[in-house]
């Protein structure tokens, strides 16, 4: 029997407990593994929970889980940096194998934790930390083990994707869509982590570690959110054949890494463009497999619980016998980050311009100065107080040139307010 101890009996903890108990024999049938929850810790031992806990299993002390001799695998589900970090370190010191859903912790302290685990010859499972119910970590680590990977495209945050989907399909404003997401429980009261791209950036750091075998710090990920997205740009995107998504993008070229989480346009013909609502998806290009895509629910009690359970079973296969072999992300090298200024992609730009002859010529003149060529232009829509929107798609341009050109255009007398620019990810189809 493999004994499991759970620290943190909240949403995901309850989902995990439920699956392990309800499907004890299903899991045994499928895998041959006899897995039992033997200890659970939560600071709130009394809160009513929608599960019937076995007698004597509950404690308020995480330490009791970690030190319990029947616990082979410690599952950390309290989230946040501390005390989760301390508990996981204690568990590893005690030679326990660890499963966690804690993306923030792994993004911030992954290096130290994985190094410690390697030293103690134990494993940290983290399937549940990225894209909840999608078996994505196993796909990258195990399924694509024979591939070099140099491109990842992810829709990693269900809250943002829900909001953008509502804005796109129903023409809602950001505020209204956020309100609805909060009402339905898809967004938290303080949605900052989700709508500002921070949660997705945490997850991208984890994916980069696995896929590129290197570590990237949160500060190295260019991170932007969706709060400023204007429905008009969603509409123009559609006219050009694109959808706007909060895209996590990681590229490796010449040993340099570029990592971003930003609203970006993706062609409607790309399979990522139709990932809607609270769904997550990741598009990964292996050099042997070619493009692969994984899609499913990124959060929730049971989807995420299912991911925790899959880690436990995967470990159980190897824990038999005296010297089980942990899977450890290879000692990850630090790689250089490619400066965002050198990133080279097409852009969408929107200007609010005086409706008079010669404006387009001025704008395109500035773009030309910065070496940016235009692939298409539309000028249409309602005139308001003598101003009309001009929308331009550019060919590939460096981010630096784009920024400079945009600033120069915004200084033109015929242009009103700050212009909009959105990156275009063609998505390596």
- Regarding 165 and contact with a second copy (CB under 8 A), the answer is no
Contacts of 407 (CB under 8 A, 6+ apart): none
Q: Cα(99)–Cα(124) distance, rounded to whole angstroms?
A: 6
CB 84 within 8 A of CB 41: no
CB 250 within 8 A of CB 150: no
Stretch of 98-106, 146-154, 197-205, 339-347 lying at the interface with a second copy (CB under 8 A): 146-154
Question: What is each CA distance from 260 to 85, 108, 197, 201, 429, in whole angstroms?
Answer: 26, 16, 9, 7, 19
Q: Which of 323, 361, 376, 385 binds a second copy (CB under 8 A)?
A: 323
- Regarding 166 and contact with a second copy (CB under 8 A), the answer is no
Cβ proximity to a second copy, 184 vs 325, nearer residue: 325
- Regarding 10 and contact with a second copy (CB under 8 A), the answer is no
Q: Which of 63, 217, 238, 318 binds a second copy (CB under 8 A)?
A: 318
Q: What six digits make up the tokens of 397?
A: 């341009």
Stretch of 218-226, 313-321, 348-356, 414-422 lying at the interface with a second copy (CB under 8 A): 313-321
Strand 2-7 vs strand 73-76: parallel, antiparallel, or unpaired?
A: parallel
In 101-196, the DSSP E strands lie at: 124-125, 149-155
* Percent of the chain as helix, strand, coil, to the nearest 5: 40, 25, 35
- Regarding 236 and contact with a second copy (CB under 8 A), the answer is no
- Regarding 31 and contact with a second copy (CB under 8 A), the answer is yes
- The torsion of the CA quartet 365, 369, 370, 376, rounded to 10 degrees, works out to 30
CA angle 270, 274, 277 (to 5 degrees): 150
Minimal distance, residue 237 CB to a second copy, in Å: 18
Stretch of 190-198, 200-208, 327-335, 388-396 lying at the interface with a second copy (CB under 8 A): 327-335
Stretch of 47-55, 196-204, 267-275, 419-427 lying at the interface with a second copy (CB under 8 A): 267-275
Minimal distance, residue 110 CB to a second copy, in Å: 16
Cβ proximity to a second copy, 143 vs 224, nearer residue: 143
Neighbours of 84 (CB within 10 A): 22
Minimal distance, residue 26 CB to a second copy, in Å: 7
- Regarding 20 and contact with a second copy (CB under 8 A), the answer is yes
Cβ proximity to a second copy, 203 vs 406, nearer residue: 203
Q: Cα(420)–Cα(209) distance, rounded to whole angstroms?
A: 33
- Regarding 99 and contact with a second copy (CB under 8 A), the answer is no
Neighbours of 54 (CB within 10 A): 14
Active-site residue set:
203
* Mask for 113-132, x = binds a second copy (CB under 8 A): --------------x----x
CB 377 within 8 A of CB 360: yes
- Regarding 290 and contact with a second copy (CB under 8 A), the answer is yes
Q: Which of 51, 58, 116, 293 binds a second copy (CB under 8 A)?
A: 293
Cβ proximity to a second copy, 321 vs 357, nearer residue: 321
- Regarding 309 and contact with a second copy (CB under 8 A), the answer is yes
Cβ proximity to a second copy, 72 vs 262, nearer residue: 72
Cis peptide before 83 (omega within 30 of 0): yes
Stretch of 75-83, 153-161, 176-184, 296-304 lying at the interface with a second copy (CB under 8 A): 296-304
- Regarding 144 and contact with a second copy (CB under 8 A), the answer is yes
* Helices first, then strands: H and E counts in the chain: 14, 21
Q: Cα(16)–Cα(183) distance, rounded to whole angstroms?
A: 25
Minimal distance, residue 273 CB to a second copy, in Å: 9
Q: Which residue in 246, 295, 243 sits closest to 426, CA to CA? A: 243
Cβ proximity to a second copy, 141 vs 338, nearer residue: 141
Q: Cα(99)–Cα(156) distance, rounded to whole angstroms?
A: 20
CB 393 within 8 A of CB 424: yes
Q: Which residues of this chain interact with a second copy, rule CB under 8 A?
A: 15, 19-20, 23, 26-27, 29-32, 127, 132-135, 138-139, 141-148, 213, 269, 271, 274-275, 281, 286, 288-297, 300, 302-303, 305-307, 309-310, 313-314, 317-318, 320-323, 325, 327-328, 330
């Amino acid at each position: 029997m493999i004994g499991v101890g759970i620290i943190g009996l909240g949403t995901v903890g309850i989902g995990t407990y439920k699956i392990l108990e309800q499907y004890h024999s299903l899991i045994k049938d499928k895998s041959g593994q006899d897995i039992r929850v033997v200890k659970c810790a939560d600071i709130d031992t009394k809160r009513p929970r929608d599960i019937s806990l076995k007698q004597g299993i509950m404690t308020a002390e995480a330490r009791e889980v970690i030190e319990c001799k029947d616990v082979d695998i410690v599952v950390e589900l309290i989230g946040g940096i501390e005390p989760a970090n301390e508990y996981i370190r204690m568990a590893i010191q005690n030679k326990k194998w660890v499963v966690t859903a804690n993306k923030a912790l792994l993004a911030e302290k992954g290096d130290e934790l994985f190094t410690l685990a390697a030293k103690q010859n134990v494993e940290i499972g983290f399937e549940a930390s990225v894209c909840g119910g999608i078996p994505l970590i196993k796909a990258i680590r195990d399924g694509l083990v024979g591939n070099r990977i140099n491109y990842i495209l992810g829709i990693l945050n269900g809250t943002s994707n829900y909001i953008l989907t509502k804005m796109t399909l129903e023409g809602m404003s950001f505020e209204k869509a956020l309100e609805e997401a909060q009402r339905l429980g898809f967004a938290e009261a303080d949605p900052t982590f989700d709508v500002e791209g921070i949660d997705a950036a945490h997850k991208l750091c984890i994916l980069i570690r696995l896929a590129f075998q290197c570590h990237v710090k949160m500060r190295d990920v260019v991170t932007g959110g969706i709060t400023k997205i204007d429905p008009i740009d969603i509409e123009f995107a559609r006219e050009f054949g694109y959808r706007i998504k909060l895209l996590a993008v990681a590229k490796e070229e010449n040993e340099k890494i570029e990592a971003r989480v930003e609203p970006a346009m993706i062609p409607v013909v790309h399979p990522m463009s139709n990932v809607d609502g609270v769904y997550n998806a990741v598009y990964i290009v292996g050099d042997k497999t070619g493009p692969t895509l994984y899609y499913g629910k990124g959060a929730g009690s049971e989807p995420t619980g299912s991911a925790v359970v899959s880690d436990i079973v995967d470990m159980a296969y190897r824990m038999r016998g005296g010297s089980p072999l942990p899977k450890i992300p290879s000692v990850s090298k630090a790689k250089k980050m490619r400066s965002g200024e050198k990133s080279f992609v097409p852009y969408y730009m929107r200007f609010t311009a005086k409706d008079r002859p010669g404006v387009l010529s001025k704008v395109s003149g500035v773009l030309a100065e910065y070496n940016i060529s235009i692939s298409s232009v539309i000028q249409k829509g309602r005139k308001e107080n003598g101003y009309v929107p001009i929308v331009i798609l550019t060919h590939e341009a460096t981010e630096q040139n784009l920024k400079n050109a945009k600033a120069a255009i915004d200084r033109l007398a015929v242009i009103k307010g700050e212009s909009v620019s959105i990156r275009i990810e063609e998505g390596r189809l």
